[in-house]
Amino acid sequence: MNSLELRASKAQTDPRGAFTRLVERLGVHNISLLVALAILVVIFGSLRGDVFFSSRNLLNIGLGITILGVLAMSQTVVIVGGGLDIAVGATVGLTTVSTAMAIQATGSPAAGIVAGLVLGGLAGLVNGIIITYGRVNAVIATLGTMAIFRGIAFIMSDGQSIAIFSDTFRFIGIGRILGLPLLVWILVLTAIVFHLFLARSIVGRNIYALGGNPVVARFSGININRYRVGIYIMSGVAAGLAGILLAARTGSGQPVSGSQGLELEAITAAVLGGCALQGGKGTIVGALLGVAIIGVLNNGMILTSVPTFYQLLAKGSLLILAVVIAEYHLNRT
Partner 1 sequence: DDIKIGYINKMGEHPWFVAEVGGAKKAAEAAGATFVSQDVQFDSNLTITTFDTMVGDGVKGIAIVVPDKALGPVIAEKAKAAKIPLVAVDDDIYYQDGTQVPYVGMNAYNIGARVGDELAKLYKAGGWASKEVRIASIEDRKADTCMQRNKGAGEAFLKAVPDFKPANILRVPYDNTMVNAIDVMTTTLTANPGVTNWIFYSCNDDGVLGAARALENAGYAPDQGMGIGIDGSRACEAFGSGKPSAFRGTMWLNSANHGALAVKILLASIKDGTKLPVQSFTDPEYITADNFASDYKAKLCH
Partner 2 sequence: MQSDFFSLDGISKRFGVVQALDNVSIAFRPGEVLALVGENGAGKSTMMRILEGVFGPDTGTVRHGSTPIVFGEPRDSHRAGIRVIHQEPEIVPNLTVAENIFVGELPRLAGVLLDWRKLEEQTDRVLATFGMQQDMRPRQLCGTLGPAQRQMIEIMRAIRAGGRLIAFDEPTSSLTDDEARRLFSVIRRLREEGTSIIYISHRLNEIIDLADRIVVLRDGRLVDDSPAAGASEQTIAKLMVGRGIDDLFTRETWRSGEQLLDVAGLTTDRVSDVSLRVRRGEVLGIAGLMGAGRSELAKAIVGYDRRIAGTIAMNGVPVLPNSPHAAIVAGIGFAPEDRKHEALLLFRSILDNAALCVPDKTSSFGFFNRRKALEIVSPLAAKMSIKAPNLDEQVSKLSGGNQQKVVLARWLARQPMLLILDEPTRGIDIGAKAEIYRLIDELAASGIGIILISSEMPELIGLADRVLVMAGGRITAELSRPDIDEATILKHAMPQSAPSPGDHIQ
The mark string for 138-177 relative to partner 1 (x by CB under 8 A, - otherwise) is: ------------x---x---xxxxxx-x----x--xx---
Q: What's the CA gap between 324 and 302, in Å, rounded?
A: 24
List phi, psi (to 5°) of 52.
Answer: -55, -45
| Contact positions with partner 2 (CB under 8 A) in 296-325 | none
| Contact positions with its own copies (CB under 8 A) in 136-175 | 136-137, 139-141, 143-152, 154-155, 159
Beta bridge partners of 180: 177
Look up residue 5 and give its DSSP letter: H
Neighbours of 306 (CB within 10 A): 15
Q: Which does 323 bind (CB under 5 to 8 A by kind): partner 1, partner 2, its own copies, none?
A: its own copies
Residue 282: burial class (beta carbons within 10 Å; 0-12, 13-18, 19+): buried
Q: Which does 317 bind (CB under 5 to 8 A by kind): partner 2, partner 1, its own copies, none?
A: its own copies
What is the per-residue burial (b if ≥16 Cβ within 10 Å, else e) of 29-46?
Answer: bbbbbbebbeebbebbbe
| The amino acid at 114 | V
Neighbours of 181 (CB within 10 A): 19
225 binds partner 1 (CB under 8 A): no
Q: What's the CA gap between 23 and 187, in Å, rounded?
A: 25
Nearest to its own copies of 49, 159 (CB atom): 159
Contacting residue, 17, 49, 107, 316, with its own copies by CB under 8 A? 316
Contacting residue, 4, 309, 331, 332, with partner 1 by CB under 8 A? 309
Contacting residue, 66, 74, 145, 206, with partner 2 by CB under 8 A? 206
1 binds partner 2 (CB under 8 A): yes
Cβ-contact 186, 245 below 8 angstroms: yes
Give the residues lining the site for its own copies (CB under 8 A).
Answer: 130, 134-137, 139-141, 143-152, 154-155, 159, 264, 267-268, 271-272, 277-278, 308-317, 319-320, 323-324, 327, 331
